Amino acid sequence: MLKLLCLITAVTLGVGGLANGAFMLVAPADWYFAVPGVMTTGPFNQHFIRDIGIIFLFVGAAFLIGAARPDNRVLSWGAPTLWLGCHALFHFWEVAVGICGPSALARDFPAVTLPVILGTALTWWAVHDRRAARAA
């Protein structure tokens, strides 16, 4: 049951990352105006949004690859989780230095912090699962 939950979570993160990245690449202005709070982070920058869109495509693909290939899960889930974690820490830093108010953390939680928590849990499970498989 836990394995199934982990795979569903990884696929959800993967599809979400791919969808977000594709949206950022195909319609950066629409993405900029559609995502709550983005307009408060600075002026529209099509190049920057597309750059980050490429990262989200890699994040999404990595979660999906990990779901499909058990031998690659630790790296496939750990690497994008590291980037997502750095991204979330940057959001916390913006609050700490006064760029954004604390309400930004609650607003951004579903799209910024929750994926880090889920990715960390997936990576931890993948490490545990690999160790158990080697011990067997």
Q: How many whole angstroms separate alpha carbon 76 and alpha carbon 70?
A: 9
User: Residue 122 has what pLDDT?
Assistant: 98
For 11, 45, 103, the CA distances from 60, given in Å and listed in that order, are 8, 22, 27
- Please give the mean pLDDT across all residues of the chain: 96
| Residue 41: pLDDT band with limits 50, 70, 90 | confident
Residue 116 has pLDDT above 90, yes or no: yes
Q: What residues does each domain of the chain span?
A: 2-135
Q: How many whole angstroms separate alpha carbon 30 and alpha carbon 63?
A: 25
pTM of the predicted model, to two decimals? 0.94
Contact 122, 91 (CB under 8 A): no
Q: What average pLDDT score do residues 59-83 get?
A: 97
Q: Tell me which residue of 116, 98, 99 sits closest to 42, measured CA to CA.
A: 99
Residue 40 has pLDDT above 90, yes or no: no
Q: What sections of the chain are H helices per DSSP?
A: 2-26, 28-34, 46-68, 73-96, 103-108, 114-135
